[in-house]
Structure 1
């Protein structure tokens, strides 16, 4: 069902808007519209421009909230807006001081880490590194050389160079070390080492003792700095944890206050001689609008105007669905197709009943149906999965049809069939011969559903004053008469009864088709528009003839589409027969229960998914397409209801 909506225009002194929002509107669900767009006929309206003062504080609170433990997400504590702002700003000040201290330690750690990594390859040098860095008469170069070039250096040119290379460390690729030479030969030695791809590394004058001693000291410094950073992190966490309840309370208050303040984005302002007034426009349900008007009746600074005729408004009312709890999960399918327009029929209950019924018909098994009922109910209860609730309700019908078919986890000799066995039940029809009974019943049921959806289409067309949709298109009264007469004739013929008179058949078949063929000019005539036929008449009749042919084909294809109901009922029985054969249950011996269990799980999962999709296809293409447009817009409350 679609809840009835009322359009409200709320106005009062501009300075009083926060009180009105906090004291009144926050208690109700209101779908706000842009007042400037809605009230175009009102003169001298201006937007309500004001910067949200709570935005930055709310952003800080959101950051603090992210630092809270995952299990800390709710509180009943209440804080005033002033206390919330003070709390956030004081906490931000304290955390900034700690973060500044932490940043200094991090910078210090980065320096230590850099020095640590630079000296690490030279730990094999047993000499005071600061002394080496102070050499004046000897030149030195720290660096690394690829291993293959180091071997060439030793073999071919090292003995001819006036230098000494001290090897410190090596791995699979490089050899680290330092070479020394006198100042006079430094250019030649540098060139020789450069030709061997020696990569020079520069060490800062910040080390004390040998590389090993410097490395050990830096490791201690790094450890101490990490401990200081961890201590800062603990201080931050303690500050947050100790005030967790206050932070959540402040977040709730600031979030609500910020949302309330943002109402101004959709408000308009108008000036009188003495004061500026705000105007808010929006939708409430009929029930809530009545309660709202009663509550504000004695407020001298608040005025509310209720629009009784929604047809005069620029936008259609938003759609808010309200269905019984058992059918509510099926709103998901309706929303996937599109929300109903405000004046349209809500198809949720129709979908719930037809989807569950058809699913049960196609997937009839007592055991597997009960598994769907229990499994879906548990998943919906503990995981709140909407699709699981749908499967649970569909499983009830699967269980019912399982009783009709006499099927229990594929076994067809455990319980007697109250109706028939889908694989073996046959019906003899005139001129057609023997046909599977479930196929015949599926087509008959499809015809009934098509007629029913035509009736729904006519109701929707009457609601929206759609002349063509009411009288002349393929799903209108003309289509209903034609297809209803066709269905009646088929049933009379197949059941062996005498057909009606030829004159009646002509009236029931030919006239509705002519009306459908001429739907456009007839609609224009009813509405008093001229000319009745636009363009050339010959071209129009040719086009209308082929369109009528397409309509007749659609009637046929839509009807035959329901054969899949019987096909899946038969295929389910056949698949379970294969499982029982593989388990040896049909040979009379002791069955393999492992095969039976896994076979049932496989069939239930695979065929359940396929049947679910096929039923949804029937809903959308064979039923929804006949009576439902789904062009509504969702009712979205701007404020959180307190």
Structure 2
């Protein structure tokens, strides 16, 4: 169900807004709205202009919280804002010097990493770097050549020119090496190497030994720096963990103070008045609003006004669902489609009953249902997962229909009905599986139920046109019920009453559905009754009516999948038992039975779950539910986040 809402306005001196937030907003669930957009005399009000003074402190507290291990295990204590700020500053100062040292060490580590990356490709060079630097008659360049160019680079070079290229590392994309050339020929050689996209890699001059030895020294220095960084971080952790409880309490107090001050963004302040007042407003459940009204009765700093007329305000009331614990997990599927608007009927109960019921029919096995029931219940109790609660409920109905179908992990026992063998003879159709007939009748009942809910929604929304005219309104309901009645009369051998009913009841509802647009405008007193030309209206209405008729048929046939899945589930389990050698009363291979049941549960269970959800969304919700509501988000939940 959707909780009833009341609109609450809180006013008081501007200087007392923090008092109002601390004493009332932080203790009650209120969905705040922008006060300026709600007030009818908005020109007499303005907004707060102060910048949030806790912004810098909030940044500092969040940086410290990143250093706290398992903050959720901290013991929270009460602390005022001033003490919280001083304590956070104190801890920050204690670790600031250490963090500076860590930053410097990390910079040194980055420099070593860069140097290592430069030297590593040349580790196989069997010459000291100092010896290369000190050559008198030759110049050199370290670098890399694209692999695609390397294999043909000799053809680019002048064969009469003196140069040496030493290959040090060959990778998939590049070849690393160093080339040497006489000083007087170097510029020409360098030009040729540039033509084959040689990319120079400068070598830091502080390294003078063999490249491999220098890389080993760098690795050693990195290990020493890493130990120093770990030691310094351990010092920071010691300071933080020693003061964890008080630090977390202080940081959370700053979060609250920041959020409390930010309430000013939604408040309105009076202009040009001797005493400046602030106004806050929002939505509360009627029950909660009455409590707040009672609490503020004797408070001279707060004026509280509660209005139960939800239509008298500019904003639309938010939606807060309130369902019992058995139904609550199914709110997950409702929210996936969209929250109900405040003036809609909450479909959670309807979805709970139909989803679990249909799943049970399509996945009817007592043993497998028990697995879903027990597994879902354990996960729901331990992890509080809504999906697990849904699986648990689906498992209950799988057990019920498994007992009716006489199936326990594929082993058959005396049953009320057999999905594979129970047949019925009907006029015009001959012999047909009774499960398919039941699925069609059940689908028709569900469609009729959704139409009734749609009519109830329209009445709740005070939309008479929507309730009376349309494929899912009274006209559509009369037409659809007439179709079902005619089919039943013909199938039971009573064609005359069926024909009379068809003649009388088919024409009038279809005409009213055809005239849906002008009739709705007539009821709501809107002009003109037909917005476009009569020709365009007639063509549009005709094709829409044709589409409605096709939809009636397709929706009814869509529910046949319930019976088809029930039959296919029974057939799959029969295959499993055949593979296990249990046909004709033989002894079953338990390993095959277990593996077969696992495969069927994993594969068909997922498919059935998705198919039932598809039926809910497309064949049911599409007839009566819009899902255009906005979630009720109380202020105190926002600052807790």
Say which SS state the counterpart of residue 639 (structure 1) adopts: helix
Separation of aligned partners in 2, 1:237 and 1:246: 15
- CA 242–549 in structure 1, closer or farther in 2 if over 3 Å, else same: same
Say which SS state the counterpart of residue 7 (structure 1) adopts: strand
Residue 593 of structure 1, aligned match among 566, 569, 590: 590
Residues matched between the structures, number: 620
Q: If the length of structure 2 is used for normalisation, what is the TM-score?
A: 0.86
Asked if residue 467 in structure 1 is aligned to residue 497 in structure 2, the reply is: no
Separation of aligned partners in 1, 2:405 and 2:49: 68
Separation of aligned partners in 2, 1:525 and 1:194: 90
Residues 471 and 478, structure 1, Cα contact 8 Å, conserved in 2: yes
Match of residue 10 from structure 2: 10
Asked if residue 300 in structure 1 is aligned to residue 300 in structure 2, the reply is: yes
Match of residue 437 from structure 2: 440
Separation of aligned partners in 2, 1:327 and 1:451: 23
Unpaired segments of 5 or more residues in structure 1?
180-185
Match of residue 183 from structure 1: none
Separation of aligned partners in 2, 1:330 and 1:384: 13
Q: Deviations over 1:164-221 (max 9, x none)?
A: x9x9997777778999xxxxxx8437569869979796664798x9999999987776
Say which SS state the counterpart of residue 521 (structure 2) adopts: helix
Residues 57 and 254, structure 1, Cα contact 8 Å, conserved in 2: yes
Give the Å deviation of 1:571. Answer: 0.6
Separation of aligned partners in 2, 1:204 and 1:499: 107
Give the Å deviation of 1:224. Answer: 5.0
Match of residue 476 from structure 1: 473
Say which SS state the counterpart of residue 277 (structure 2) adopts: strand
**Residues 591-600 or 538-547, more deviating:** 538-547
Match of residue 571 from structure 2: 574
Match of residue 188 from structure 1: 184
Match of residue 485 from structure 2: 488
- CA 305–177 in structure 1, closer or farther in 2 if over 3 Å, else same: same
- Aligned-residue Cα RMSD (Å) equals 3.7
Give the Å deviation of 1:226. Answer: 4.3
Unpaired segments of 5 or more residues in structure 2?
145-149
1:90-489 maps to which residues of 2 (within 5 A)? Answer: 90-108=90-108, 187-188=183-184, 204=205, 224-271=224-271, 273-412=273-412, 415-417=413-415, 419-489=416-486
Match of residue 147 from structure 2: none
Say which SS state the counterpart of residue 340 (structure 2) adopts: coil
Q: Deviations over 1:321-366 (max 9, x none)?
A: 0001111111111112211111110010010001100110111000
Separation of aligned partners in 1, 2:8 and 2:107: 59
Residues 122 and 168, structure 1, Cα contact 8 Å, conserved in 2: no
Residue 605 of structure 1, aligned match among 592, 602, 605: 602
- CA 496–107 in structure 1, closer or farther in 2 if over 3 Å, else same: closer
Q: Deviations over 1:41-88 (max 9, x none)?
A: 333211122211222222222222222224754433232211211122
Give the Å deviation of 1:565. Answer: 1.0
Residues 293 and 305, structure 2, Cα contact 8 Å, conserved in 1: no
Separation of aligned partners in 1, 2:541 and 2:112: 86
Separation of aligned partners in 2, 1:148 and 1:522: 83
Separation of aligned partners in 2, 1:290 and 1:262: 26
Residues 125 and 168, structure 1, Cα contact 8 Å, conserved in 2: no
- CA 284–192 in structure 1, closer or farther in 2 if over 3 Å, else same: closer
Match of residue 84 from structure 1: 84
- CA 394–206 in structure 1, closer or farther in 2 if over 3 Å, else same: closer
Say which SS state the counterpart of residue 281 (structure 1) adopts: strand
Separation of aligned partners in 2, 1:572 and 1:122: 67
- CA 499–231 in structure 1, closer or farther in 2 if over 3 Å, else same: same
**Residues 243-252 or 355-364, more deviating:** 243-252
Say which SS state the counterpart of residue 500 (structure 1) adopts: helix
- CA 125–374 in structure 1, closer or farther in 2 if over 3 Å, else same: same
- CA 169–235 in structure 1, closer or farther in 2 if over 3 Å, else same: farther
- CA 60–579 in structure 1, closer or farther in 2 if over 3 Å, else same: same
Give the Å deviation of 1:229. Answer: 3.0
Separation of aligned partners in 2, 1:217 and 1:540: 86
- CA 482–213 in structure 1, closer or farther in 2 if over 3 Å, else same: closer
Residues 7 and 282, structure 2, Cα contact 8 Å, conserved in 1: yes
Give the Å deviation of 1:388. Answer: 1.8
Separation of aligned partners in 2, 1:568 and 1:204: 76
Residues 442 and 565, structure 1, Cα contact 8 Å, conserved in 2: yes
Say which SS state the counterpart of residue 27 (structure 1) adopts: coil
Asked if residue 635 in structure 1 is aligned to residue 618 in structure 2, the reply is: no
Considering only CA atoms, is the larger Rg found in Structure 1 or Structure 2?
1
Q: If the length of structure 1 is used for normalisation, what is the TM-score?
A: 0.86
Residues 141 and 200, structure 1, Cα contact 8 Å, conserved in 2: no
Residues 122 and 177, structure 1, Cα contact 8 Å, conserved in 2: no
Match of residue 519 from structure 1: 516
Separation of aligned partners in 2, 1:374 and 1:446: 29
Asked if residue 621 in structure 1 is aligned to residue 618 in structure 2, the reply is: yes
Match of residue 20 from structure 1: 20
Residues 34 and 267, structure 1, Cα contact 8 Å, conserved in 2: yes
Residues 119 and 215, structure 2, Cα contact 8 Å, conserved in 1: no
Residues 142 and 200, structure 1, Cα contact 8 Å, conserved in 2: no
Residues 489 and 499, structure 1, Cα contact 8 Å, conserved in 2: no
